[in-house]
Amino acid sequence: MNKKTMLFSMLAISLATSGFAQQQTDSLEIEQLDEVVITDSKFKLKRENSGKVITKITRKDLQNLQGKSIAEIINATAGIEINGTKSNAGQNLSYFIRGGRNRQVLVLIDGIAVTDASQIANDYDLRLLNADQVESIEILKGASSSLYGSGASTAVINIKLKEASRDAFAVNLRSTIGTNQSQEDSNYAVENFVNSVSVNGTLDDFSYLASFGHQFTDGLSAIAVGDESDPFNTYNGYVKLGYQFSEAFKVQTYASFDSFKADFDDGFGFADADNLSVTDQYRIGISPEFKYNNGSITLNVAYNNVEREVESSFPTQFSAESFIGDLYNRYNFSDKFYTVLGVNAQQNEIESFSIPFGSTAFAQDIDPEDATHTIIDPYANVVFVSDFGLNVNAGLRLNNHSEYGSHLVYSLNPSFKKELNFGYIKGLASYSTSYIAPSLYQLFEPSFGNSDLEPEENTTIEVGAEVDIKDKATVSVVYFNRSEENFVDFVDQGNFMFQYTNTDNDFTASGVEVVADVALTRTLKLRANGTYTKVDEDLNLRIPELKINAALNYQLNTQTFMSLSYQFNDDRDDAFFSSTTFQSESVNLESYSLIDFYVSHKLVKDKLTVFANMNNVLNEAYEELFGYSTRGRNINIGFTLSL
């Protein structure tokens, strides 16, 4: 507890110091003053009029985080722990947000949900995403099923991909090389290669963008005691075409291919193994939009196919298809009432194969003719922005599922903003319900599945405040309390028989999130956040009770930018399967602190930028996952070229 107290004291001193600096400086800038957010309402609203504290990672932020993956970038935001980002590059990712799990987090790409029906949790794997293709990210925490449907229980991560340049022809190149070693290594061999290229432009009413990315990372074993390295190899291709037929009507279409191969070891015996996981994802979609006076009609339609194969002692093959359509009408009543009326439809199916004991050939486990479901959800959302400071965001959705029937969710999110001489103070509250539909694997897997599963239900209460000091600082504090009912668990039925079952127990997760963006001087800015999370004992796997992120960003001049970042993760409980007792056993992982450094320099304005980053500067030894490797001090250098 002394260490936690010391860290809280350091954060308080930093905020107090920044407060003094604000009094001494007159010409400071905070980009968030004019920040516009869209995820909490599907409308472009000023951040100050939102009843949520939304984290927005802008294009400029991403430019100052070159060399990091999307999962690493998101992992530095308040209330989020993405486990696996500091391990071997091919390590599976676990999303722990506000005490939740992967199945309670919904990922959107350009506003449309992306899921993987072949996964047990039906979640989207962020390892498939190339950071160089991303324009910005918005993270909305809390229950949002009324607007986004199943899975939007602890967070919605809305990832916006890059748009075409307004020039007729543009080329963007980025290349990064670096090391990939553990704390015990010191040879600094070049084992990490990340490259991307995009060609894009606009010709009259036609826009186009084509990009390709590749990453190859080697040098680090998946398990901590391993002698053989386990490489990670990924490819990404993306094409987006758009046409503006008139001022009122435009259409965008896209197609993408994402693939990775990840070597992994024996996680039961913690021994080297020649195991391989291969995932291929294909996506195509179309998004027409028609604008009329004070409103617009938008249709997002996407098809997603995932092929996944695991080569190990227990080889498996999965094939999943998902179709999603989201049709909604937005209408703005004189900048006071904003309404969204829509209907969302999904169809998912899965097929799987494994090799039965004693056989050498694959046999079908899950039949896609049985393992399929459809979801049709009508929904409505209303936003009221008053002249006297009151803002209300309310939503309603009726989920209609082919397996378990209908389910109603709703949300109410009032906030009140008081304008003051120095800026504003905003109070906010919300009460929202959400649901997590059982995955096709949980419903139809022949050995463990349960077709009688009901959706998991979550209820979230939030209370918070935000203070904005003009051109100087924005500070927010939010308390959350989330309860889970009908929790879907993997339950021992006796005689080594397991099945997915809705448990009778209710679970609770609560906590506090603090976020501060402060301009210490005109060129020096502090960004810090801290999260305290308390969860029931049955839910606390790998979730730190206390997590702190902080970054000092320094704009030395118009060409040179530097950043020093810090992360503290509290001690956590982990579990592993003992090959001796044949039972799951618990272990405590010690807390750790990491320091990273980043610098970039523009050699040619708007054309050529070089950058370098050093991760884990102090080469601290720690465990992110019990028995698995973590990265030590590593260095990456690279350049970005725009033509």
Residues 377-386: tens digit of each pLDDT = 999 999 999 9
Average pLDDT, the chain: 91
CB atoms within 10 A of CB 13: 10
Tokens of 605: 């304005």
pLDDT in the model for residue 1? 42
pLDDT in the model for residue 22? 37
Task: Give me the phi and psi of 609, to 5 degrees please.
Answer: -125, 135
Q: Among 96-100, 115-119, 552-556, 574-578, which is the least confidently predicted range?
A: 574-578
pLDDT in the model for residue 415? 96
3-class DSSP string for 557-607: CCCEEEEEEEEEECCEEEEEECCCCCCEEEEEECCEEEEEEEEEEEEECCC
3-state secondary structure of 260: strand
Residue 637 has pLDDT above 50, yes or no: yes
When pLDDT is averaged across residues 597-605 and rounded to a whole number, the result is: 95
Domain ranges, ordered by start, for the chain: 2-642
The b-or-e profile of 346-382 (16+ CB within 10 A means b, else e) is bbbbbbbbbeeeeeeeeeebbebeebbbebbbebbbb
pLDDT digits (tens, 9 = 90+) for 287-344: 999 999 999 999 999 999 999 999 999 999 999 999 999 999 999 998 899 999 999 9
Quote the distance between the C-alpha of residue 635 and its chain's center: 25
When pLDDT is averaged across residues 181-200 and rounded to a whole number, the result is: 95
Alpha carbon distances (Å) from 330 to 41, 108, 387: 10, 19, 21
Tokens of 613: 């980053």
Residue 30 has pLDDT above 60, yes or no: no
Helix (H) / strand (E) containing 127: none
3-class DSSP string for 197-208: EEEEEEECCEEE
pLDDT in the model for residue 12? 40
47: confidence class by pLDDT, cuts 50, 70, 90:
confident
CB-based contact 83:194 (threshold 8 Å) = no
> How far, in Å, CA of 273 to CA of 290, rounded?
54
Which among 214, 216, 246 has a CA at the least distance from the CA of 231? 216
Alpha carbon distances (Å) from 537 to 457, 531, 541: 19, 18, 8
CB-based contact 78:513 (threshold 8 Å) = yes
Residue 36 has pLDDT above 50, yes or no: yes
- Burial class, 122, CB count within 10 angstroms (exposed 0-12 / middle 13-18 / buried 19+): buried
Residue 2 has pLDDT above 60, yes or no: no
Tokens of 123: 């979640």
CB-based contact 33:471 (threshold 8 Å) = yes
Q: Is the dihedral of CA 163, 167, 171, 172 positive or negative?
A: negative
Residues paired with residue 460 on neighbouring β-strands, in sequence order: 432, 482
Q: Is the dihedral of CA 539, 544, 546, 551 positive or negative?
A: negative
> How far, in Å, CA of 298 to CA of 327, rounded?
6
Identify the CATH class of 2-642.
mainly beta
pLDDT digits (tens, 9 = 90+) for 566-597: 999 999 999 887 777 767 788 999 999 999 99
